[in-house]
Amino acid sequence: MTKFERLFGLNERDINKTCVLLPLVPKGVLRQLRVSRLQKGSLYSSGNNGYFTVINTGMGPGLTGDAVLYLKGTPCQNLLLFGSCALVKEKDGLAQGGIVSPLSCYSNESFSNLLLEGGLFKEPFFPDKILHKMLADRSGQEIKEVACATIASLKMEEDMVELFVKNGVDIVDMECSAFFSAAQHAKRKAAALLYITDVIKDKPFYGTQDPKSRLVIASSIRLAADILSRFIEIDLSGPDRGH
């Protein structure tokens, strides 16, 4: 058994040309992505369908970034982050349950820097322009393009709303900047598709969700998974699909 297989649960030769990275695995999403099960490794869990590999990375920038770096030694060429995010403020058709794709992402990954309010909102990281545009074109009007900030603290984000607004940030997450920067370092194409689960302060992550909100979010996840699957199968899977 190779080091990669111990970590990911699959041999590196079995990794497909396109990989979907999930920090969390919401209920039913594997069925939507047509993956029967994930093979558990010591760090990540992975599974295949006929078109792409799904990898559950766990939450946080370090785990996601490391997964991308490890994938450099596999057939993977296209990386798609599929996860949740929080909306800074509702506006312009952006609301809980919306589906978004970041055009840019600030790296505010350091908990200590957040406490010290230093080194924040510097040069952002970006998705691969072509892959992002292909994803946006495939989805039609379903996806909103946004500016993102990856942040290291759920608590401190509530005190930073005005800072986010001042810097043009629409959403926050906990992985995207590390995902983009690692993909850039590994020379792999990357784009992100995120679903909005909460709105900072107005509909916080720790709040009690009413049945309507739960239904809206669940429907959003299903739609996003279908968009992602359709995009990979139609746009990224040619005669040489997989390897």
Cβ–Cβ under 8 Å, residues 135 and 81: no
31 belongs to a structural domain: yes
What percent of the chain is predicted at pLDDT more than 70? 98
Q: What is the pLDDT of residues 39-72, one digit of tens each?
A: 999 999 999 998 999 999 999 999 999 999 999 9
Asked whether residue 243 carries a pLDDT value surpassing 60, the answer given is: no
- Whole-number pLDDT of residue 238: 61
28 belongs to a structural domain: yes
As a whole number of Å, the CA-based R_g of the chain is: 17
Asked whether residue 140 carries a pLDDT value surpassing 90, the answer given is: no
| H or E element at residue 44 | none
Distance CA 176, CA 151 (A): 9
241 belongs to a structural domain: no
215 belongs to a structural domain: yes
Give the range of the structural domain holding residue 201, as residue numbers without chain letter.
3-235
240 belongs to a structural domain: no
End-to-end CA distance of the chain: 20
Cβ–Cβ under 8 Å, residues 194 and 223: no
pLDDT band at 237 (very low <50, low <70, confident <90, very high): confident
Distance CA 61, CA 178 (A): 5
CATH classification at residue 160: 3.40.50.1580
Picking from 74, 63, 81, the residue whose alpha carbon sits closest to that of residue 3 is: 74
What is the rounded average pLDDT of the residues 153-177?
96
Asked whether residue 174 carries a pLDDT value surpassing 50, the answer given is: yes
Asked whether residue 138 carries a pLDDT value surpassing 90, the answer given is: no
- Residue 149, SS3? strand
242 belongs to a structural domain: no
146 belongs to a structural domain: yes
- Whole-number pLDDT of residue 240: 45
Burial 54-91, CB ≥16 within 10 A → b, else e: bbbbbebbebbbbbbebbeebbbebbbbbbbbbbbeee
- Residue 107, SS3? strand
168 belongs to a structural domain: yes
Q: What is the pLDDT of residues 81-103, one digit of tens each?
A: 999 999 999 987 899 999 999 99
How many separate domains does the chain show? 1
